[in-house]
Chains A and B, each alone.
Chain A
Amino acid sequence: MLSRGTVRNADAAQPAAGGTGALEVRNVSHSFRTPAGETMDALQDVSLTVRENEFFTVVGPSGCGKSTLLNIAVGLISPDSGSVRVGTDSGPAAARPTIGYITQDSSLLPWCTVLENIMIGLEVRKVPKAERRRRASEWARTVGLAGFEKHYPRQLSGGMQKRCSIARTMVYDPDIVFMDEPFSALDAITRAVIQKAFLELCEASPKTIIFITHDLTEAIALSDRVAVMSGRPGRIKAIVDVPFGRPRDVYHVTQLDGFDELHERLWSLLDVDLANGAAGGPDSR
C-alpha cells in the first residue's frame, strides 16, 4: 500500500523511521451513536503509516471521518477497534513524542493574552517562568506578533490568531503536529501567506505533520504524501505521492509541471464518492 514518498530532511542525525516522530494507525474502526439511536460508522478499517518528519495529508469529502481519525490519533477518542501508535509509545515516558494540535478555529484561550497563550505548552511542562517568557516572546516575534504580546485574542484578526496558535504549538517543539483544517477559515490571501510561513517553520525545524484538509491545492502545495478518504464510512482509498521537491513555492504551486495531473488524479479519487452522493448530502454532518 505504501509507495515511497519524499521524506524530507532525512539526514543521518535523525532517528530511523519508527522513531519518536512516526505514527502508525492499524485497522482502526469507529462508529458513533446518532441522537436517533442509530449507529453510524465513521471509520472502517483505516490503516496508515506516517514516516518521521513527513508532511502527510488526509483529504476527503466532508463527513468522511477525517476529524474523527485525527481525534483518535491525538488520543481524544478511543477507537472501537484497532490501534494507534505514536512514536515509540512503549518506551519510558521521557522518550515519548510530544504532540501538537492545531484546529480550524484557533482555540486560543480568550482570557489569556497572546504571550500567555503561547506559554501554555511551557507552563504545563514546568519550564521556569523567566525562560517561558523568553521563549514565548521569541515565538511571538517569529510568527510576526511582536508588539501584540499583551493583546487578547479577540483583538486580533483571524490570521493573527492562527499565527498565535501556530506559535503556541511550535514553542514546545512537538515531534508530531496534528492539524485539523487549520487554514480553511482564513481568506485566500492570508491562507497562502500562512501556508508559506508554516512550511518555512517546518523546514527550519523538521517535524512530522498530519494535516487534514478538503482543499486539494493546499494538500498538494504542502504535503509529501496525500491520503484520499472515501465518504462514510471513511476508508483510505489511496495514498498518493507528491513528487515536488522542497523548498516549495506555495504561491506558484499550481504552475508546477505535473500539478494539474496530480490535482486531477486526487479529484477523480474523490469524485466517485461525490457522484454517489456520499458527500454533502442533506444527511451529512
Chain B
Amino acid sequence: MAVKPASGADVSVAVAAGDVVPPPRKKAGGKSRRRLTLIGLQALAVLVILALWQVLSGRVIATFLISDPVDVVKKLVGIIQTATMWTDISVTAQELVVGYAIGVAGGAVVGWALGMYRLSGSVFEPIINAVNGIPKIALAPVFLLWFGLGIWSKVAQASMIVFFVMFYNVYMGMRNAPEPLVNVVSVIGGSRIYILRKVIFPSLAVPIFAGLKAGVPFAMIGVIVGEFVAADKGVGYYALEATQQYDAAGLFASLVIMVVMVLIGLAIVNIFQRRALRWQQG
C-alpha cells in the first residue's frame, strides 16, 4: 500500500489512512528506451519496404508503372522548387482548410442541435442517414455544376464528407450525455446553462476530437476527388496530369505532398487535443 504524501501527519477529522493511493507516474528510463527501440524498428521496416520497391522496380515491375524511391525523391525535390507546385499546394490547402472548417462546424452544430432536442433528432436522423447513404463522390459533378471550376466545388465536396463524420460523432456524444453527472450537478443547484457549460460541452470534447481527427483525411479525399473531376490547379490536378503523362514519379511525389499536408493537419488538431483533454492523460 502506497504511503500518502504531504498530509501524512494530518489529524483533521476525516483523514483516512486506509485506502490505496495510485502509484506515482513512472518517468523511468526503461520506458523511453523501449520507445526508442520501437522507433528504430519502425524506421527499419520502412527502409526495407523502400529497398524492396527500389529493387523490384525495373526488374520485376516496369519503372513507368511504379517508378522507384530514388526517382520519386528526385522528382519531389525538383517540383517543390517550382512556383507552379507551390500554387498547387496553396490552392489545395485553401480548399482543404475551408472545406474542413465548414464541414466540422456544420456537423458539430447540427449534431448538437439534434441531440439536444429529442423531437428534432427523431425527425431528422433518418433523413440524414438516408442522405449519408449517397456515395458523396457521386455528387462531384453536381458540385461542379453548382459551384464552378474554382475552389468552391472542392470545398463543397470536402465539407460534405466531413460534415457527416463530425455529425455522427457529436450526435452520438449528445445521445450518450453523462446522465448521472447531469443529475448530480442539477441537485447541487446548477442551472441549465451551467450544466451545459460545465457538463455537456466538456463531455463532448472526446467525440468532437475524434471527429476532428477523422475529418482531416476525409477532407483531403473530398478535395482531391473534386480536383480529379475538374480543376486547373491543385495537388490532385497535378497527380492526374502526371498519371496521364505516365509520370509515375510525379504521381508518387504528389501523393507524398498530400500525406504531408494531412499529417500537418492532424498535428495541429493534436496540439489542441492535448490541451483540451488534459484530464484524460496521466
Query: Which residues of A are at the interface with B, using a C-beta cutoff of 8 A?
Result: 71, 74-76, 98-101, 103, 105, 107, 109-113, 120-121, 123-125, 141-147, 152-160, 163, 166, 168-169, 172, 178, 186-187, 189-190, 192-194, 197-198, 200-201, 204
Contact = CB atoms under 8 A, between A and B. Distances in A.
B271 interface: no
| B contact face: mostly helix, strand, loop, or mixed | loop
A159 B18 contact: yes
Contacts of B17: 193
- The bracket for how many chain B residues form the interface is 35 or more
Given A71-B183, A142-B12, A193-B16, 6 more contacts: A109-B181, A121-B189, A124-B190, A157-B20, A190-B18, A193-B17
Interface string B157-196: 0000000000000000000000011011111111100100
Interface string B1-25: 0001111001011111111111000
B7 A141 contact: yes
18 contacts: A74-B187, A100-B188, A101-B187, A105-B180, A107-B181, A109-B181, A111-B205, A120-B190, A124-B188, A125-B189, A141-B12, A142-B13, A144-B7, A157-B19, A189-B18, A190-B16, A190-B18, A194-B16
Nearest to B277: A111
Nearest to B195: A124
A189 B1 CA distance: 12
Given A107-B180, A157-B21, A99 B15 contact: no
A160 B18 CA distance: 10
A192 B10 CA distance: 19
Contacts of A75: 187
A172 B278 CA distance: 27
A152 B282 contact: yes
Given A103-B180, A157-B19, A193-B19, A121 B14 contact: no
A160 B202 contact: no
A62 to B, nearest CB: 18
Contacts of A124: 185, 188-191, 194
Contacts, number: 127
B198 interface: yes
A144 B15 contact: yes
A110 B6 CA distance: 23
A74 B182 CA distance: 13
Contacts of B187: 74-76, 99-101, 178
A154 B6 contact: no
Contact of B19 (A105, A142, A147, A190): A190
Q: Which 5 A-B pairs rank lowest in CB-CB distance, beginning with the nearest?
A: A159-B19, A147-B6, A193-B18, A197-B14, A190-B19
A172 B10 CA distance: 23
B16 A159 contact: yes
A156 B22 contact: yes
A185 B210 CA distance: 31
Given A107-B180, A144-B7, A157-B20, A120 B279 contact: no
